[in-house]
Amino acid sequence: MVTAVRRALFLDRDGVINVDIGYLHRPEDCVFVPGIFELVRVARKEHYEVLVVTNQAGIARGYYSEQTFAAFTAWMLEQFVKEGAPITQVYHCPHHPEAGVGPYRVACACRKPAPGMLLQAAADHHIDTHASVMVGDTLSDMQAARAAGVGRLFLLGEGAAACTGTASSGVVHVSDLMQVAAELSSVA
């Protein structure tokens, strides 16, 4: 039996889902980016799987544990369910090639700009990356998505200033998440 191929909305976490305060790991410090729940609701309505791909150097640096990250992630996923905007799965990279401590100090294939998390998510969920969308706020998000073959790339907010020349080829710069939601609705 062949499993149907699907499309995904890939989301970075810090700066796209929540305001980036640096090494967020506690619910009481979380402020959601305006429009994130609406974007995920639109994506689900348009039959996108919603997959989070996030570098978590705070784990590598020893600022918080994988268990703390897992607890925060469970809380975050609950908030999305309460908002009628369920997320399919969260993928994270706990490594850092220079600042990592102990086993977390490694150059890996999952830390963006490498495409490992996106490729793993695509394999796990039978995703057609060319029919999929990435929303990130950094150049490394765009590089990872491009390397994974993601078809549509959206760079949110101030990260757009760092993405110029050939790096910005095919990248749509947006100032808010509702612009992405409108694009998803218009393509369906």
**Alpha-carbon dihedral angle through residues 16, 19, 25, 27, given to the nearest 10 degrees:** -110
pLDDT for residue 107: 95
Q: In what order do the strands lie in the sheet with 133-136?
A: 89-93, 48-55, 7-11, 133-136, 152-156, 171-174
Mean pLDDT of 87-100: 97
Which residues partner with 153 through β-bridges?
134, 171
Kindly name the residue from 12, 20, 141, 176 that is annotated as catalytic.
12
* 159 compared with 60, residue with greater pLDDT: 60
Q: For helices 139-147 and 116-125, what crossing angle results, to 10°?
A: 50
Mean pLDDT of 150-178: 79
Around 120, how many Cα atoms within 13 Å sit in the side-chain half-sphere?
A: 16
Confidence of residue 2 (pLDDT cuts 50, 70, 90): low
CA distances from 17 to 40, 86, 102, 131, 137 (A): 10, 13, 29, 22, 10
Percent helix, strand and coil across the chain, each to the nearest 5: 45, 20, 40
Around 96, how many Cα atoms within 13 Å sit in the side-chain half-sphere?
A: 14
3-state secondary structure of 46: coil
pLDDT for residue 168: 60
Q: Which CATH superfamily is domain 10-130+140-160+172-187 in?
A: HAD superfamily/HAD-like (3.40.50.1000)
pLDDT for residue 162: 53
Is residue 12 flagged as an active site residue?
Answer: yes
Q: Is 0.85 topped by the overall pTM?
A: yes
pLDDT for residue 167: 52
pLDDT at 160 over 80: no
pLDDT at 99 over 50: yes
Is residue 128 flagged as an active site residue?
Answer: no
Q: What angle do CA 162, 163, 167 make, to 5 degrees?
A: 140
pLDDT at 20 over 70: yes
Mean pLDDT of 3-32: 95
pLDDT digits (tens, 9 = 90+) for 25-68: 999 999 999 999 999 999 999 999 999 999 999 999 999 999 99
pLDDT digits (tens, 9 = 90+) for 102-111: 999 999 999 9
Q: Token pair for residue 79?
A: 């908030």
Distance (Å, rounded) from C-alpha 128 to C-alpha 91? 17
pLDDT for residue 166: 47
